[in-house]
A and B are shown apart, each in its own frame.
Chain A
Amino acid sequence: MKKIGLIIVCLSGALLLYATQDFPRWGDPNSPASTHVSPRYIQKSLEETDVPNLVTSILADYRGYDTMFETTVIFAAGLSCFILLRAFKKKEDDLYYRHISTGITLHIKGDKTIPASSKEFERIDTMWTPYDLIIKTVCRFLVPFIQIFALYVLAHGHESPGGGFQGGVIFGASFIVIAIAFDLRTALIRFKEKMDGLLSALGVFIYAGLGALCLLLGGNFLNYKELATILPMDPVEARAYGILGVEIGVFIAVMAVMLSIYVNIVSEGRHDEGL
């Protein structure tokens, strides 16, 4: 099997290199790719969409339809992990508790449990990870600043590199930090599974709904110029705010999906014990 694989790989590699002879030299300014379509983006983008970051303006406006389906890909990945791994049945075997004041760990067999509200005992994972004060306190300090940075990345997608995807991933990562530093249950208390499912659907719905709103206002799908009729601004500014609205939709969807994929993979769908 390895020999066939090697032959296939070398064949396709040779084919790829054979074609590079006709390519324009690397990085030359008047190659077809840089002279046919992109000059209009570079010259007109600032006049038409009032967004200095060309990549964000093309991403959300000129080729916004692609990005809508790309957000749908992320949404479908979140759903797939949910439907493949989520098992609603509880894990039967025994639980571990730790007495907070003395630090003794209890190993309770069978299905009896200590009520979650009790103050003296706190539940710990079966693969018991050492109680580490430093990581927990540093993480409690760190998470708010990660989230503020994520919102900054989203808001500044127009001027600096960044935007909906990067901000959404960083915001999702802040919840993953909580899940790793503390344990999965504390993260799930703060971000319930139902809220997660609804938010991921809501995020992509904002994106597609904004496009449909432009349709209802008379323009083509995703034509933010039509938003100028309801928003008190001229069409170019309406496009900029349309792009921001779409980025917010992407932000919410990517945040929720990243957390849901992580939670489903790390707890094998039981949502009680993870990394």
Chain B
Amino acid sequence: MTHNFPVLIVTVPLLSAFIISGLSWVKKSLCFPVALLALGTSVFCAIGLLFRVLDLGVVEYHMGGWMPPWGIAYRVDLLNGLMLVIVSLVALTNLVATHRTVVADFPEKHGTFYTLYVLFVTGLMGISVTGDVFNLYVLLEITSLTAYALIALGQPDRAPLASLNYVFIGTIGACFYLLGIGYLYIMTGSLNMADIASLLPPIYHSKAVLVAFIFCMVGVCTKMAFFPLHVWLPNAYTYAPDAATSVIAPLMTKVMVYVMIRLVFSVFLPDFSFHVLHISHAFVWLACLAIVMGSLLALSQKNIKTMLTYIIVSEIGYMVGGFWLGNRLGMSGAILHILNDAIMTLCLFLAVGNISYKIRELDFVHLKGLFRKMPITMAAFVAGGLSAIGVPPTCGFFSKWYLISGAIQAGQYGFMLALLFSSLVNVVLFFRIIEIAYFEPMEPHNDTTGLKGSIIEAPLTMLVPLLIVAVSLVVVGIYSGDIVTTLIAPILPKGIG
């Protein structure tokens, strides 16, 4: 059964999503356990696949027994394996942590919520593992459709409008990606990534391949909320329900950064992207703009959740800028930052989910005196904040270290300055919240339990996953050296300097 791991990762959650949907009509209480079981098996398969890839190099899997250019084939290498482990672990942790919020918010529809949640995670894992460009488009559509629905369940007056805006901009992005594939298909005649890569070199200088590259990149950057195309993200993530935000925020944009890396490494091949086209400098400068604007916009926010969404926009600038530096340090920093940023964002949004579960309000004025009331949640929030700033023991520091040294080696001092500027702004952002939460007394009106002076901590099932994630911030930070050498270094193709 082990050689079936690549397909089991995607089909087991898919089958269990249909079972959950059936169960939501028959026996609602069984929905959560089946979802837990499904994501548990896919975590197990993802880790098993990562070890198989570590010793076999590349794992191939042909759907329906057909050879690659004719059928759909999976070609799983270390980058896929790493992404699969990240996506499945974050999804499983979030499923456990937000169980009480989901049951509380959607009393009679939580069966359907879990079906959409498992379909969303299946789409993301399918994107992370597929080796076929059109299959990636279909999975992109599943992920986006379930994300539209999950986001629209939030605050009744703002969430549907934010979700509809996300529908428009997301559809433009997906259609640009589809156009890019169409241009590749008309020039090469194939849809398999490895096959296109072997057919492209003779026609590198044709105009159609250039336009295909531009449209694919614009489509992916729209779905990734890269700075000029990020207008949908803040509203969508702020007004979405907490259980949905804390799974969409850490994963959706990071998987799209993976798609960009996969397109450059396996479809257009690095020497086309970096040497034939001279756009790596443009991308790095756009990334600097993204980092600076993301940090400045985060400064001007009154709501803690909106502030975190703008931090995501600037983190996307880290990854895109780091990747397009073009040297080994920058690229390994970008890939490591995908892992670190996923854990950081999950930790921060779970903490915000706990706060809003207890206090219902998320504006700064309501966070007064939270350290005495919710010490564990605020401790985890501070750990996430330190990692966002880049304080050594946490993982945020190490990926920033790789990015900055990559920027110096590549001579992109603008990018390095943007990184330092954003770290300083993060310091201001997080210490402002710590100062509000620590020094100012708590107002009586928003103490929901009415017990004077006592701790109103979130329930245990929400706290334990949060603590696990906060501890994993430090553990991943300490082992980031080994992660880079064993997992990330062999990913980078030889041609990179």
Which residues between 146 and 160 of chain B lie within 8 Å of chain A, taking CB atoms? 146, 148-149, 152-153, 160
Q: Does A70 contact B (CB under 8 A)?
A: yes
Contact assessment for B21 and A197 in the assembled complex, using a CB-CB cutoff below 8 Å: yes
Chain B interface size, under 10 / 10 to 19 / 20 to 34 / 35 or more? 35 or more
Chain A 190-234 against B: per-residue CB contact (8 Å), 1 yes, 0 no? 000010011011101100110110010001111111000000000
Q: Which of A24, A34, A83 gathers the greatest number of chain B CB atoms within 10 Å?
A: A83
Q: Which residues of B contact A35 (CB under 8 A)?
A: 189
Q: Which residues of B contact A31 (CB under 8 A)?
A: 186, 189
Q: Does A36 contact B (CB under 8 A)?
A: yes
Tell me the smallest distance from the CB of B244 to a CB of chain A, in Å: 11
Q: Which residues of B contact A20 (CB under 8 A)?
A: 208
Binds B, one of A58-66, A118-126, A170-178: A58-66
Q: Which of B19, B63, B72, B203 gathers the greatest number of chain A CB atoms within 10 Å?
A: B63
Return the 6 tightest CB-CB contacts between A and B, nearest first. Answer: A36-B189, A80-B149, A19-B211, A32-B189, A223-B65, A201-B21
Mark A residues whose CB is within 8 Å of B. 15-16, 18-24, 31-38, 40-41, 61-66, 68-70, 72-73, 75-77, 79-80, 82-84, 86, 88, 194, 197-198, 200-202, 204-205, 208-209, 211-212, 215, 219-225
Contact assessment for A76 and B116 in the assembled complex, using a CB-CB cutoff below 8 Å: yes
- In whole angstroms, what is the CA distance A32 to B116 when docked? 39
Tell me the smallest distance from the CB of B74 to a CB of chain A, in Å: 10
Q: Which residues of A contact B64 (CB under 8 A)?
A: 61-62, 64-65, 220-224
Which of B149, B185, B208 is in CB contact (< 8 Å) with A76? B149
Q: Does B190 contact A (CB under 8 A)?
A: yes
- In whole angstroms, what is the CA distance A21 to B63 when docked? 36
Known: A205-B18, A208-B11, A221-B63; 10 extra A-B contacts, CB below 8 A, are: A19-B211, A20-B208, A32-B187, A33-B185, A38-B189, A80-B149, A197-B24, A198-B22, A198-B25, A221-B11
Residue of B nearest to A8 (CB): B172
Contact assessment for A16 and B15 in the assembled complex, using a CB-CB cutoff below 8 Å: no
Secondary structure at the A interface, as helix, strand, loop or mixed, is: helix
Mark B residues whose CB is within 8 Å of A. 4, 7, 11, 14-15, 17-19, 21-22, 24-26, 61-66, 69-72, 106, 108-109, 112-113, 115-116, 119, 122, 126, 132, 134-135, 138-139, 141-142, 145-146, 148-149, 152-153, 160, 179, 183, 185-191, 199, 203, 206-208, 210-212, 214-215
Q: Which residues of B contact A80 (CB under 8 A)?
A: 116, 145-146, 148-149, 152
Q: Which residues of B contact A223 (CB under 8 A)?
A: 64-65
Known contacts: A73-B141, A79-B112. The answer to whether A64 contacts B189 by CB under 8 A is no
Can you list 23 pairs linking A and B with CB atoms under 8 Å apart? Answer: A16-B179, A18-B207, A19-B208, A19-B211, A23-B208, A24-B186, A31-B186, A37-B190, A63-B134, A72-B122, A73-B142, A76-B146, A83-B153, A84-B160, A197-B22, A198-B22, A198-B25, A201-B22, A205-B15, A215-B4, A220-B64, A222-B63, A223-B64
